Chains A and B, each alone.
Chain A
Amino acid sequence: MSDRPVSDLSGDERLDALFAAYRDACPEPEAGRNFMPALWRRIEEHQQPSVRFRRLARAFATVGAVVTLAMAAFLFGPLNERMTSPVYQSTYVEVLADEQATEAAALGLLGRPEVESDLDLL
């Protein structure tokens, strides 16, 4: 701080002097004995809602996973069944030939050489 009387100081100097005096006027506080216990108490109080929220979120995630698996099983079961049917096991031409043969047998055309040669072409 300057030794000049306060009235001689410029505004900036007065302000700097006030800041310096303020620095000395503020006590260096020491934490009380309860500082740490009170801090941990506050942490625990704040933790409770967040822990509850985290548990709830985890429960939702579990339920979501179970529902997803159930839906997957529900959808893939019939699909799998369909995939093993003869329609999906043979080619389009084979299926067509089978159908032609069935229809020809039903109409009593089997045994006639011109029809059988047509079927052989397939």
Chain B
Amino acid sequence: MLVDFRVIQRAQKGDDAAFSQVVQAYRKRILGTIARLIAKPEDVEDVAQEVFLRLYFSLDQLRTAEVFEPWLYRLIVNASYDYLRKQRRRQESRMADLSEEHVVMADAAAGEKAGLEERRRQEIRERMEEVLGGVSEEDRILLILKEVEGLSLKELEKIYGANENALKVRLYRARQRVLKSLKDPKSGPSGGTA
């Protein structure tokens, strides 16, 4: 744990300084995880604040030190999921409003602004976005936590409250869907979470 449990207990009792200490300790890690989950650098801070806001109002339910980090990850998962769902809906309506010409022009302008290295990174993020577009938000988050964040099945078990075998099956199926959209980039989201 990045912070002593006594600090968390003080925060539970309403000590704002202790809560700030918890935020300072976990801020960097949470920002990094959210950045990889949502792939939109401009919105990372906003989602991270949402996570800490939910943490602040639910902290009194925490009983033991061992469950703090899995619980924090669950808040990250939920906040990222909410963000991605909203984003998908927003994107659908925005893309319907813009003509293809406008989209191409916007892409070109963005390309000129960014440096070469940043442009390459941007392309990887976009490629990943495209590939992950073939799976539901739940599967996307699960895959990133496992494959990119490097969380173990045991850790995922605690975060999701599901058993290891069920998670293995979900991961396998999600991976198959991603592989399908890697081979056939035009396939749309297949949605399933089972």
Does B associate with A? yes
With A25-B124, A25-B125: A15-B48 Cβ-Cβ less than 8 Å:
no
Q: How large is the interface on A (under 10, 10 to 19, 20 to 34, 35 or more residues)?
A: 20 to 34
**1/0 per residue A22-43: CB within 8 Å of B?**
1111111111100110110011
B139 → A minimal CB distance (Å): 13
Bound together, the chains give a CA A36 to CA B31 distance in angstroms of 13
Nearest residue (CB) in B for A19 is: B147
Nearest residue (CB) in A for B150 is: A23
Nearest residue (CB) in A for B127 is: A18
Residues in B neighbouring A21, C-beta threshold 8 A: 124
Residues in A neighbouring B120, C-beta threshold 8 A: 25
Residues in A neighbouring B121, C-beta threshold 8 A: 24-27
Contact residues, B31-79 vs A (CB, 8 A): 31-32, 35-36, 39, 41, 44-45, 48-49, 52-53, 56-57
Q: Are A29 and B36 closer than 8 Å at their CB atoms? A: no
In the complex, whether A16 has a CB less than 8 A from a CB of chain B is yes
Q: Are A39 and B49 closer than 8 Å at their CB atoms? A: yes
A18 → B minimal CB distance (Å): 6
In the complex, whether A46 has a CB less than 8 A from a CB of chain B is yes
Residues of chain B touching chain A, judged by Cβ–Cβ distance below 8 Å, are 20, 23, 27-28, 31-32, 35-36, 39, 41, 44-45, 48-49, 52-53, 56-57, 120-122, 124-125, 127-128, 131, 147-148, 175, 178-179, 182-183
Residues of chain A touching chain B, judged by Cβ–Cβ distance below 8 Å, are 11-12, 14-16, 18-19, 21-32, 35-36, 38-39, 42-43, 46, 50
| 10 CB-based A-B contacts, threshold 8 Å | A12-B175, A15-B175, A15-B182, A22-B125, A25-B121, A25-B124, A26-B125, A28-B35, A38-B45, A50-B57
